[in-house]
Amino acid sequence: MLSYILASILILFHAGARNVLNGALPTKEARLLKALGHPVRLLIVSRLIEQECCVGTLWNRLGLNQAETSRHLALLRRVGAVETVRQGRNICYRVNSSVTRRLVSALQKSAD
């Protein structure tokens, strides 16, 4: 299990290796890891990897209230884990980063 977690961290930091080589701290990557460290946000991202969802659909499926779901989605959007897509009057979310997909996949495998 630990090897999957280490692999996940390596995947994430490999994506930001250019910053590290230039002497910059990988703050973007650290923010993503911190955001995914919350169980509700990890669940939200896992569901969004499976299928793009509008906010109402997402909070109904997860059994959360609308305000809590929106707050978590806003944070995930700020760190670049998800993006929004307008569908008529609805705002839908999807995972927009292959790094996020690979990281969540590795974390899910480590739980098996």
Domain residues for 55? 2-111
- Looking at the structure of the chain, the number of domains it has is 1
Q: For residue 29, what pLDDT is reported?
A: 81
For 35, the token pair is 């955001």
The pLDDT tens digits of the residues spanning 22-38 come to 666 578 888 888 898 89
Query: Which domain CATH number covers 82?
Result: 1.10.10.10
- Global pTM reads 0.76
Q: Is the dihedral of CA 91, 48, 36, 83 positive or negative?
A: negative
Task: Say what the pLDDT of residue 5 is.
Answer: 53
Average pLDDT (85-109) is 88
How far apart are alpha carbons 95 and 100 in whole angstroms?
A: 7
Contact between 87 and 22 (Cβ < 8 Å) = no
Encode pLDDT of 66-94 as tens digits.
Answer: 999 999 999 999 999 999 999 899 999 99
